[in-house]
Every structure is written in structure tokens, then in C-alpha cells.
Amino acid sequence: MSSQVLFDQQLLNGVTTGTAYLPGSSGVSPYVDGKMSGNALEYTIHVLYGAGVGAGAMKLETAHDPAFTGTWAVIATVSFATENTAHYVSLTGCFRALRLRVSTTVTGGTASAWVIASSR
């Protein structure tokens, strides 16, 4: 059985703060709905901290509902290490809601992030 790319898109573009919900169905914020979470098994998040960045971090988080207002569970943290360097995190699983959040303000420049998800 071959894998199929379900989505491949930019989540954040030139930001210092912010939150992006991974793509999915309709609602206040796009998210990975029950149908999508049953299909998307492999995720890779790419983060680029641009020129001049001196600090910053992003957290990939999950919760049972995209509207959840409590503390989301942290899957991974992508911390700034070196400017103009690609960082990534890959994970496998079915998730009800996923988001990427700038958890430490990006200083001295901006950051961008992309996601690709595939099924098996």
C-alpha cells in the first residue's frame, strides 16, 4: 500500500507570535476533524527561523477539541538554535486537533512553518 499526501501547506509566514491550526474541516478555526484524523498518520512540521533571529520557540500541541480553552498537550518543541536553519519534527498518529503555537516570541527576525501529512 502506498502513502498519499493529504495536505502540504504553509502554516505560519514571517511571524514573531501566533498560532496555526492544521488543516481540516469547517469551523471557527480549521482543524483535523474525525475523518481527517482517521486518515492522516504521518505528519512533518518544518520550521525556519529567518535571518537575524536571536530567540524563539514553537510548540506542536494536541487536544480533543480545537475549541478547547485549557492547556493543550505538548507533542514537541522546536526551539531556535541557529538563524537561517531548517528545523523539523515528524510524528505518527491520529489526532483530533493539532496546532502549532509560537510559545516563545521570535526576536530579531521572523519565523515560518509548513506542514505535510500523508496516509499509509
Domain limits of the chain? 4-119
Sequence-separated (6 or more) residues with CB below 8 Å from residue 3: 42, 118, 119, 120
Quickly count: other Cβ atoms within 10 Å of residue 7's Cβ. Answer: 15
Q: Which residues are bridge partners to 57 per DSSP? A: 79, 104
Average pLDDT taken over every residue of the chain: 84
* Amino acid 1: pLDDT: 57
Q: What does pTM read for this prediction?
A: 0.84
Please list the ranges in the chain whose pLDDT falls under 50.
25-36
CA distance 34 to 20: 18
* Amino acid 24: pLDDT: 53
* Amino acid 34: pLDDT: 42
Closest CA to 42 of 117, 104, 108, 107: 117
79: DSSP letter: E
* Amino acid 4: pLDDT: 86
Asked: is 4-119 a CATH 2.60.120.200 domain? The reply is yes
Closest CA to 26 of 62, 70, 75, 67: 67
Q: Which three cell numbers stand for residue 46?
A: 518544518
* Amino acid 12: pLDDT: 94
Q: Which residues are bridge partners to 59 per DSSP? A: 77, 101
* Amino acid 57: pLDDT: 97
* Amino acid 68: pLDDT: 86
